[in-house]
Amino acid sequence: MHRTSPVSPYEALLVVSFGGPEQPAHVVPFLENVTRGRGIPQARLEEVGKHYFEFGGRSPINDQCRALIAAVRVDLVEHGIDLPVYWGNRNWDPYLADALTQMSRDGITRAAAFVTSAYASYSGCRQYRENLFDAVATTPRAPRIDKLRHYFNHPGFIDAFADSTQVALDSLGDALKEQARLVFVTHSIPTQMAESAGPTGQAYVDQHISVAELVGAQIARRTGRGHAWDLVYCSRSGPPQVPWLEPDVNDHLTALAKGDTRAVVMVPIGFVSDHMEVSYDLDTEAAAIAEELGLAFARAATPGTHSAFVAAVRDLLTERAAIESGSSVERSARGALGPAWDVCEVGCCPNLRAARPALCERSA
């Protein structure tokens, strides 16, 4: 089959992200958008709002999306791919509906969507697909959207974390880096959501464990020394009576300090950029607790605009384009879990509060 472009049938790439406030006046409306219908205690909203105000009322996430999009555009051009890149957020400007409206005006009829969430779960996948459904439903002549697969074990994602983990270890100095413990961190979610994640359940935790194993193994190959590691969670925001994934990162640091651990490297594998959960929960709060406990502390950078991660976006795009065009393609993935599915099953990562339609899933 002749293909005129390595990304045919796609006419655009849509980067889909969470969004964040960009000035103090945005903070409360943004948090209300994020938590609408979830029963989050007002005290928790006020606490989280203070985190944003400590950073001038501006989340880093939108600027980091801008940087990633700029890097992706350059990478596509350097590889001979002429493709417009659009951007839409779930919770703040630029909203998904506005991005799709612009795509429609520009005559885009089919696009691939790259979501800045690497793992399967309701909040990390289906909720984005529900928001895409809503945006498409309210946009005249909206383009068809195909969501690119989960990329938690794509080599570009793993290599970016391995590089930054190596840098963080080296920053501890020779006396501490060999004995440092790797603490892999991701966003906590309700245990019921975790249990139902993916087509058969448990995908959220299983995928994170796979990433921790892959990054840890790569560090061991590079240094000739294995490091003990743990998977922990941060940023719990739900009602106190609802169980969420544990251990909490700060509780875990306290437990480690009671043993023989002298140094930790935080590796935020649940995040693609250094946004608020990383800047506050790890760089501010966890770092302060580690200092109080006498633990040497270093934090690995998220993928951000790492060249391997940027290249992974292109690889995921061209891979899916080849599949949609009927061509054979090698799907890049490491570890026993293999490459993730391209199209979600109807019951994948269910909405446990209320059934809602979602885009990018198989017909019932």
Looking at residue 64, what is its pLDDT?
A: 97
Neighbours of 36 (CB within 10 A): 9
Which distant-in-sequence residues (6+ apart) come within 8 Å of 292 by Cβ?
Answer: none
12-151+305-324: CATH topology is: Rossmann fold (3.40.50)
Q: Do domains 12-151+305-324 and 155-299 have the same CATH topology?
A: yes
CB distance 336 to 210 below 8 Å: yes
CB distance 115 to 16 below 8 Å: yes
Q: What is the DSSP letter of 95?
A: B
Enter the tokens of residue 246: 């544990």
Q: Spell 158-187 as b/e; 16+ CB within 10 A means b.
A: bbbbbbbbbebbeebeeebbeebbbbbbbb
Looking at residue 2, what is its pLDDT?
A: 45
Rounded distance between C-alpha atoms, residue 195 and residue 251, angstroms:
23
Question: Would the pLDDT of 1 be above 50?
Answer: no
Looking at residue 47, what is its pLDDT?
A: 77
Write out pLDDT tens, residues 227-275. Answer: 999 999 999 977 788 999 999 999 999 999 999 999 999 999 999 999 9
Architecture of the domain spanning 155-299:
3-Layer(aba) Sandwich (3.40)
Looking at residue 39, what is its pLDDT?
A: 65
Rounded distance between C-alpha atoms, residue 357 and residue 134, angstroms:
8
CB distance 18 to 127 below 8 Å: no
Neighbours of 79 (CB within 10 A): 11
Q: What is the mean pLDDT of residues 171-177?
A: 95
Average pLDDT score over the chain: 94
Looking at residue 193, what is its pLDDT?
A: 97
Which distant-in-sequence residues (6+ apart) come within 8 Å of 167 by Cβ?
Answer: 300, 301
Question: Would the pLDDT of 278 be above 50?
Answer: yes
CB distance 250 to 286 below 8 Å: yes
CB distance 209 to 359 below 8 Å: no
What is the total residue count of the chain?
364
Longest C-alpha distance within the chain, in Å? 64
Would you tell me the crossing angle of helices 27-35 and 42-54 to the nearest 10 degrees? Answer: 140
Nearest residue to 108 via CA among 146, 58, 65, 152: 146
Alpha-carbon 123 to chain mean position:
10
Beta strands in 174-327 (DSSP E): 181-187, 229-234, 263-267, 296-299
Considering only CA atoms, give the Rg of the chain: 20
Question: Would the pLDDT of 332 be above 70?
Answer: yes
Q: What percent of the chain has pLDDT over 90?
A: 86
Residue 364: pLDDT band (50, 70, 90) is low
More confident residue, 45 or 196: 196
Write out pLDDT tens, residues 96-152. Answer: 999 999 999 999 999 999 999 999 999 999 999 999 999 999 999 999 999 999 999
Q: What is the mean pLDDT of residues 270-284?
A: 95
Q: Are strands 144-147 and 110-115 parallel, antiparallel or unpaired?
A: parallel
Q: Coil, strand, or helix at residue 69?
A: helix
Strand ordering across the sheet containing 296-299: 229-234, 181-187, 263-267, 296-299
Q: Are strands 85-89 and 144-147 parallel, antiparallel or unpaired?
A: unpaired
Write out pLDDT tens, residues 176-200. Answer: 999 999 999 999 999 999 999 999 9
Annotated domain spans of the chain: 12-151+305-324, 155-299
Looking at residue 37, what is its pLDDT?
A: 65
